[in-house]
Amino acid sequence: MTSIYPDAYIQSVESSFAIIAEPHRRAILSLLLSSERSVGDLERELQLSQPSVSKHLRVLRDAGFVESRIEAQRRLYRLRPEPLMEVDEWLIPFRRFWSKHLDALEQHLDKMDKVPPVKGRKKHEQP
Amino acid sequence: MTSIYPDAYIQSVESSFAIIAEPHRRAILSLLLSSERSVGDLERELQLSQPSVSKHLRVLRDAGFVESRIEAQRRLYRLRPEPLMEVDEWLIPFRRFWSKHLDALEQHLDKMDKVPPVKGRKKHEQP
DNA sequence: GAGCAATATGCCTTGACGAGTATATACCCC
DNA sequence: GGGGTATATACTCGTCAAGGCATATTGCTC
Protein backbone atom coordinates (compact mmCIF):
# COMPACT_ATOMS: atom_id res chain seq x y z
CA MET A 1 0.00 0.00 0.00
CA THR A 2 2.68 2.46 0.91
CA SER A 3 3.59 3.03 -2.67
CA ILE A 4 6.64 5.18 -2.75
CA TYR A 5 6.65 6.64 -6.17
CA PRO A 6 9.85 7.67 -7.85
CA ASP A 7 10.38 11.34 -8.11
CA ALA A 8 9.33 11.40 -11.70
CA TYR A 9 6.12 9.85 -10.75
CA ILE A 10 3.52 11.62 -12.69
CA GLN A 11 3.69 12.61 -16.25
CA SER A 12 0.21 14.01 -16.27
CA VAL A 13 1.39 17.11 -17.97
CA GLU A 14 -1.44 19.49 -17.58
CA SER A 15 -1.65 21.93 -20.34
CA SER A 16 -0.55 25.45 -19.69
CA PHE A 17 -4.18 26.40 -19.88
CA ALA A 18 -5.11 24.18 -16.99
CA ILE A 19 -2.27 25.63 -14.96
CA ILE A 20 -3.45 29.20 -15.29
CA ALA A 21 -7.07 28.27 -14.74
CA GLU A 22 -6.38 28.53 -11.03
CA PRO A 23 -6.88 32.11 -9.83
CA HIS A 24 -4.23 31.94 -7.15
CA ARG A 25 -1.69 30.76 -9.66
CA ARG A 26 -2.53 33.62 -11.97
CA ALA A 27 -2.13 35.95 -9.03
CA ILE A 28 1.28 34.48 -8.30
CA LEU A 29 2.37 34.98 -11.87
CA SER A 30 1.17 38.54 -11.83
CA LEU A 31 3.05 39.27 -8.66
CA LEU A 32 6.20 37.79 -10.09
CA LEU A 33 5.98 40.18 -12.98
CA SER A 34 7.43 43.00 -10.96
CA SER A 35 10.06 41.08 -9.07
CA GLU A 36 11.08 37.71 -7.79
CA ARG A 37 9.53 36.75 -4.49
CA SER A 38 9.92 34.25 -1.70
CA VAL A 39 7.25 31.86 -0.57
CA GLY A 40 6.70 33.95 2.50
CA ASP A 41 6.23 37.06 0.42
CA LEU A 42 3.56 35.39 -1.65
CA GLU A 43 1.96 33.91 1.41
CA ARG A 44 1.45 37.37 2.84
CA GLU A 45 0.40 39.04 -0.36
CA LEU A 46 -2.10 36.39 -1.29
CA GLN A 47 -3.38 35.56 2.16
CA LEU A 48 -2.83 31.91 1.52
CA SER A 49 -1.38 29.26 3.76
CA GLN A 50 2.26 28.48 3.29
CA PRO A 51 1.63 24.91 2.09
CA SER A 52 -0.83 26.15 -0.47
CA VAL A 53 1.63 28.62 -1.85
CA SER A 54 4.35 26.01 -1.98
CA LYS A 55 2.10 23.59 -3.78
CA HIS A 56 1.01 26.12 -6.36
CA LEU A 57 4.62 27.02 -6.92
CA ARG A 58 5.46 23.39 -7.39
CA VAL A 59 2.81 23.09 -10.07
CA LEU A 60 4.00 26.25 -11.72
CA ARG A 61 7.59 25.12 -11.64
CA ASP A 62 6.86 21.67 -13.00
CA ALA A 63 5.04 23.32 -15.87
CA GLY A 64 7.90 25.71 -16.48
CA PHE A 65 6.11 28.90 -15.52
CA VAL A 66 8.57 29.77 -12.80
CA GLU A 67 11.99 28.84 -11.62
CA SER A 68 13.59 29.25 -8.23
CA ARG A 69 16.88 30.07 -6.73
CA ILE A 70 18.01 29.53 -3.21
CA GLU A 71 18.99 32.32 -0.91
CA ALA A 72 19.71 31.15 2.60
CA GLN A 73 16.61 29.33 3.73
CA ARG A 74 14.48 31.07 1.20
CA ARG A 75 13.55 30.14 -2.29
CA LEU A 76 13.15 33.07 -4.57
CA TYR A 77 10.84 32.42 -7.46
CA ARG A 78 10.82 34.21 -10.75
CA LEU A 79 8.95 33.99 -14.02
CA ARG A 80 9.88 32.01 -17.08
CA PRO A 81 8.33 33.21 -20.29
CA GLU A 82 7.91 30.08 -22.40
CA PRO A 83 4.63 28.53 -21.21
CA LEU A 84 2.70 31.73 -21.45
CA MET A 85 4.10 32.26 -24.89
CA GLU A 86 2.51 29.00 -25.80
CA VAL A 87 -0.83 30.29 -24.61
CA ASP A 88 -0.26 33.44 -26.55
CA GLU A 89 0.39 31.48 -29.70
CA TRP A 90 -2.85 29.61 -29.36
CA LEU A 91 -4.61 32.94 -29.34
CA ILE A 92 -3.14 34.11 -32.62
CA PRO A 93 -5.85 32.83 -34.97
CA PHE A 94 -8.48 34.16 -32.61
CA ARG A 95 -6.93 37.58 -32.72
CA ARG A 96 -7.25 37.53 -36.43
CA PHE A 97 -10.84 36.51 -36.00
CA TRP A 98 -11.84 39.24 -33.64
CA SER A 99 -9.96 42.01 -35.33
CA LYS A 100 -12.01 41.13 -38.33
CA HIS A 101 -15.22 40.95 -36.36
CA LEU A 102 -14.87 43.96 -34.18
CA ASP A 103 -15.47 46.21 -37.10
CA ALA A 104 -18.75 44.49 -37.67
CA LEU A 105 -19.50 44.68 -33.99
CA GLU A 106 -18.86 48.36 -33.86
CA GLN A 107 -21.17 48.85 -36.72
CA HIS A 108 -23.68 46.68 -34.97
CA LEU A 109 -23.40 48.72 -31.80
CA ASP A 110 -24.30 51.75 -33.74
CA LYS A 111 -27.77 50.53 -34.33
CA MET A 112 -28.22 48.43 -31.25
CA ASP A 113 -28.22 50.02 -27.89
CA LYS A 114 -25.51 48.39 -25.99
CA VAL A 115 -23.95 45.02 -25.76
CA PRO A 116 -25.00 42.83 -22.83
CA PRO A 117 -22.34 41.85 -20.33
CA VAL A 118 -20.23 38.89 -21.20
CA LYS A 119 -20.24 37.45 -17.74
CA GLY A 120 -23.17 35.55 -16.48
CA ARG A 121 -25.94 33.71 -18.10
CA LYS A 122 -26.92 35.20 -21.33
CA LYS A 123 -30.22 35.04 -23.00
CA HIS A 124 -29.90 33.60 -26.39
CA GLU A 125 -32.46 31.77 -28.37
CA GLN A 126 -33.76 29.27 -25.91
CA PRO A 127 -36.10 26.60 -27.19
CA MET B 1 -23.89 46.20 -12.79
CA THR B 2 -25.98 45.70 -15.82
CA SER B 3 -26.63 42.11 -14.98
CA ILE B 4 -30.11 40.96 -14.22
CA TYR B 5 -28.95 38.07 -12.09
CA PRO B 6 -28.29 38.15 -8.36
CA ASP B 7 -24.69 38.20 -7.29
CA ALA B 8 -24.94 34.88 -5.56
CA TYR B 9 -25.77 33.32 -8.86
CA ILE B 10 -23.08 35.11 -10.72
CA GLN B 11 -20.39 33.87 -8.42
CA SER B 12 -20.62 30.44 -9.95
CA VAL B 13 -19.37 31.86 -13.19
CA GLU B 14 -16.05 30.37 -13.99
CA SER B 15 -13.44 32.66 -15.28
CA SER B 16 -12.66 32.58 -18.94
CA PHE B 17 -9.45 30.85 -18.07
CA ALA B 18 -11.23 27.98 -16.43
CA ILE B 19 -13.48 27.63 -19.44
CA ILE B 20 -10.66 27.17 -21.89
CA ALA B 21 -8.77 24.87 -19.60
CA GLU B 22 -10.86 22.04 -21.03
CA PRO B 23 -9.21 20.62 -24.17
CA HIS B 24 -12.46 19.73 -25.89
CA ARG B 25 -13.73 23.24 -25.41
CA ARG B 26 -10.58 24.68 -26.92
CA ALA B 27 -11.06 22.30 -29.82
CA ILE B 28 -14.60 23.51 -30.28
CA LEU B 29 -13.46 27.10 -30.34
CA SER B 30 -10.77 26.32 -32.87
CA LEU B 31 -13.25 24.56 -35.11
CA LEU B 32 -15.60 27.48 -34.93
CA LEU B 33 -12.85 29.74 -36.18
CA SER B 34 -13.41 28.68 -39.74
CA SER B 35 -17.18 28.52 -39.75
CA GLU B 36 -20.25 28.11 -37.62
CA ARG B 37 -21.18 24.53 -36.87
CA SER B 38 -24.04 22.46 -35.60
CA VAL B 39 -23.88 20.19 -32.60
CA GLY B 40 -23.84 17.21 -34.92
CA ASP B 41 -20.92 18.61 -36.86
CA LEU B 42 -18.90 19.04 -33.73
CA GLU B 43 -19.93 15.65 -32.45
CA ARG B 44 -18.47 14.02 -35.55
CA GLU B 45 -15.36 16.14 -35.74
CA LEU B 46 -14.47 15.72 -32.12
CA GLN B 47 -15.62 12.14 -31.68
CA LEU B 48 -17.55 13.13 -28.64
CA SER B 49 -21.00 12.09 -27.54
CA GLN B 50 -23.82 14.45 -28.38
CA PRO B 51 -24.62 15.25 -24.75
CA SER B 52 -21.01 16.06 -24.09
CA VAL B 53 -20.88 18.43 -26.99
CA SER B 54 -24.11 20.08 -25.92
CA LYS B 55 -22.86 20.49 -22.41
CA HIS B 56 -19.61 22.02 -23.47
CA LEU B 57 -21.47 24.37 -25.73
CA ARG B 58 -23.70 25.34 -22.89
CA VAL B 59 -20.71 26.23 -20.78
CA LEU B 60 -19.17 28.16 -23.64
CA ARG B 61 -22.37 30.00 -24.31
CA ASP B 62 -22.96 30.90 -20.69
CA ALA B 63 -19.49 32.35 -20.60
CA GLY B 64 -20.05 34.26 -23.80
CA PHE B 65 -17.56 32.39 -25.96
CA VAL B 66 -20.17 31.34 -28.48
CA GLU B 67 -23.67 32.16 -29.52
CA SER B 68 -26.19 30.12 -31.41
CA ARG B 69 -28.85 30.57 -33.96
CA ILE B 70 -31.61 28.19 -34.88
CA GLU B 71 -31.97 26.64 -38.25
CA ALA B 72 -34.70 24.07 -38.41
CA GLN B 73 -33.92 21.53 -35.75
CA ARG B 74 -30.31 22.51 -35.65
CA ARG B 75 -28.48 25.02 -33.60
CA LEU B 76 -25.63 26.64 -35.38
CA TYR B 77 -22.93 27.89 -33.06
CA ARG B 78 -20.46 30.61 -33.80
CA LEU B 79 -17.71 32.41 -31.99
CA ARG B 80 -17.95 35.56 -29.97
CA PRO B 81 -14.72 37.46 -29.50
CA GLU B 82 -15.06 39.13 -26.13
CA PRO B 83 -14.04 36.47 -23.61
CA LEU B 84 -10.88 35.55 -25.42
CA MET B 85 -10.04 39.18 -25.69
CA GLU B 86 -10.19 39.27 -21.94
CA VAL B 87 -7.65 36.47 -21.80
CA ASP B 88 -5.52 38.29 -24.28
CA GLU B 89 -5.58 41.38 -22.16
CA TRP B 90 -4.37 39.50 -19.15
CA LEU B 91 -1.38 38.44 -21.18
CA ILE B 92 -0.33 41.95 -22.09
CA PRO B 93 2.04 42.61 -19.18
CA PHE B 94 3.54 39.18 -19.66
CA ARG B 95 4.21 39.93 -23.28
CA ARG B 96 6.14 42.95 -22.18
CA PHE B 97 8.01 40.77 -19.75
CA TRP B 98 9.08 38.12 -22.16
CA SER B 99 9.97 40.40 -25.01
CA LYS B 100 12.32 42.01 -22.58
CA HIS B 101 13.65 38.72 -21.30
CA LEU B 102 14.07 36.85 -24.51
CA ASP B 103 16.79 39.18 -25.55
CA ALA B 104 18.60 38.56 -22.35
CA LEU B 105 18.06 34.86 -22.69
CA GLU B 106 19.46 34.79 -26.16
CA GLN B 107 22.45 36.70 -25.03
CA HIS B 108 22.82 34.41 -22.09
CA LEU B 109 22.68 31.30 -24.22
CA ASP B 110 25.41 32.70 -26.32
CA LYS B 111 28.04 32.63 -23.64
CA MET B 112 26.81 29.94 -21.37
CA ASP B 113 26.42 26.49 -22.68
CA LYS B 114 23.67 25.39 -20.46
CA VAL B 115 23.65 26.14 -16.81
CA PRO B 116 20.76 25.39 -14.53
CA PRO B 117 21.84 27.03 -11.31
CA VAL B 118 18.71 25.76 -9.66
CA LYS B 119 18.70 22.27 -8.42
CA GLY B 120 17.17 20.44 -11.31
CA ARG B 121 14.42 18.47 -9.78
CA LYS B 122 12.55 18.00 -12.96
CA LYS B 123 13.13 18.75 -16.54
CA HIS B 124 10.33 20.80 -17.82
CA GLU B 125 10.15 20.10 -21.45
CA GLN B 126 7.89 22.02 -23.67
CA PRO B 127 5.57 19.95 -25.76
C1' DG C 1 25.02 20.17 17.65
C1' DA C 2 20.65 22.51 19.39
C1' DG C 3 17.20 25.37 18.14
C1' DC C 4 14.92 28.23 15.01
C1' DA C 5 13.30 29.89 10.42
C1' DA C 6 11.74 28.94 5.76
C1' DT C 7 9.97 25.79 2.72
C1' DA C 8 8.50 21.21 0.95
C1' DT C 9 5.74 17.14 1.20
C1' DG C 10 2.25 13.50 2.66
C1' DC C 11 -2.30 12.37 3.93
C1' DC C 12 -7.08 13.32 4.12
C1' DT C 13 -11.40 15.48 3.03
C1' DT C 14 -14.33 17.86 0.14
C1' DG C 15 -16.18 19.84 -3.83
C1' DA C 16 -16.29 20.43 -8.73
C1' DC C 17 -16.30 18.71 -13.25
C1' DG C 18 -16.61 15.61 -17.25
C1' DA C 19 -18.56 11.53 -19.26
C1' DG C 20 -22.28 8.13 -19.83
C1' DT C 21 -27.02 6.85 -19.96
C1' DA C 22 -31.65 7.84 -20.17
C1' DT C 23 -35.15 10.99 -21.07
C1' DA C 24 -37.33 15.41 -22.37
C1' DT C 25 -38.11 19.05 -25.76
C1' DA C 26 -38.46 21.16 -30.27
C1' DC C 27 -38.92 20.98 -35.18
C1' DC C 28 -39.54 18.92 -39.65
C1' DC C 29 -42.17 16.06 -43.10
C1' DC C 30 -45.69 12.79 -44.37
C1' DG D 1 -51.04 14.15 -35.54
C1' DG D 2 -47.35 10.44 -35.86
C1' DG D 3 -42.70 9.38 -36.51
C1' DG D 4 -38.10 10.61 -37.07
C1' DT D 5 -34.25 13.91 -36.36
C1' DA D 6 -31.56 17.20 -33.73
C1' DT D 7 -30.48 19.04 -29.46
C1' DA D 8 -30.99 19.89 -24.45
C1' DT D 9 -31.25 18.41 -19.72
C1' DA D 10 -31.36 15.27 -15.31
C1' DC D 11 -29.11 12.05 -12.78
C1' DT D 12 -25.29 9.31 -11.36
C1' DC D 13 -20.63 7.93 -10.99
C1' DG D 14 -15.69 8.24 -11.01
C1' DT D 15 -11.79 11.22 -10.95
C1' DC D 16 -9.00 14.80 -9.65
C1' DA D 17 -7.41 18.92 -7.73
C1' DA D 18 -7.27 22.39 -3.93
C1' DG D 19 -6.98 23.30 0.86
C1' DG D 20 -6.03 22.11 5.83
C1' DC D 21 -3.14 19.97 8.98
C1' DA D 22 0.78 17.63 10.46
C1' DT D 23 5.40 16.54 9.60
C1' DA D 24 9.81 16.30 7.10
C1' DT D 25 13.69 18.75 5.19
C1' DT D 26 17.06 22.27 4.66
C1' DG D 27 20.01 25.85 6.15
C1' DC D 28 21.06 29.46 9.30
C1' DT D 29 22.94 31.12 13.98
C1' DC D 30 24.79 30.51 18.37
Closest residue by C-alpha to C1' distance, nucleotide C19? B52
Given the DSSP bridges, would you call strands A74-79 and A37-38 parallel, antiparallel or unpaired?
A: antiparallel
What ipTM did this prediction achieve? 0.78
Q: In the prediction, which pLDDT does A121 show?
A: 37
Give yes or no for B20 touching A (CB within 8 A). yes
Give yes or no for A94 touching B (CB within 8 A). yes
DSSP string, B75-109: EEEEE-SHHHHHHHHHHHHHHHHHHHHHHHHHHHH
**CA-to-CA distance for A109 and A112, rounded, in angstroms?**
5
Is the pLDDT assigned to residue B119 strictly greater than 50?
Answer: no
Question: Residue B95 burial by CB count (10 A; 0-12/13-18/19+): exposed, middle or buried?
Answer: middle
Confidence label for A5 from pLDDT (cuts 50, 70 and 90): very low
Confidence label for A87 from pLDDT (cuts 50, 70 and 90): very high
Question: Residue B80 burial by CB count (10 A; 0-12/13-18/19+): exposed, middle or buried?
Answer: buried
* Nearest CB neighbour to B124, from listed A17, A62, A120: A62
Q: What's the whole-model pTM score?
A: 0.78
Confidence label for B98 from pLDDT (cuts 50, 70 and 90): confident
pLDDT, tens digit (0-9, with 9 covering 90-100), for A56-72: 999 999 999 999 999 98
Please name the CATH architecture into which domain B7-81 falls: Orthogonal Bundle (1.10)
* Nearest CB neighbour to B61, from listed A8, A94, A124: A124
pLDDT, tens digit (0-9, with 9 covering 90-100), for B65-87: 999 999 988 999 999 999 999 99
Residue A90 amino acid letter: W
Q: In the prediction, which pLDDT does B60 show?
A: 97
Is the pLDDT assigned to residue A1 strictly greater than 50?
Answer: no
Residue A102 amino acid letter: L
Domain range list for chain B: 7-81
Choosing among 3.30.460.10, 1.10.10.10, 3.30.70.270, 3.40.630.10, the CATH entry for A16-81 is 1.10.10.10
B residues 63-92 near A, CB within 8 Å?
Answer: 63-64, 67-70, 75, 79-88, 90-91
**CA-to-CA distance for B106 and A112, rounded, in angstroms?**
50
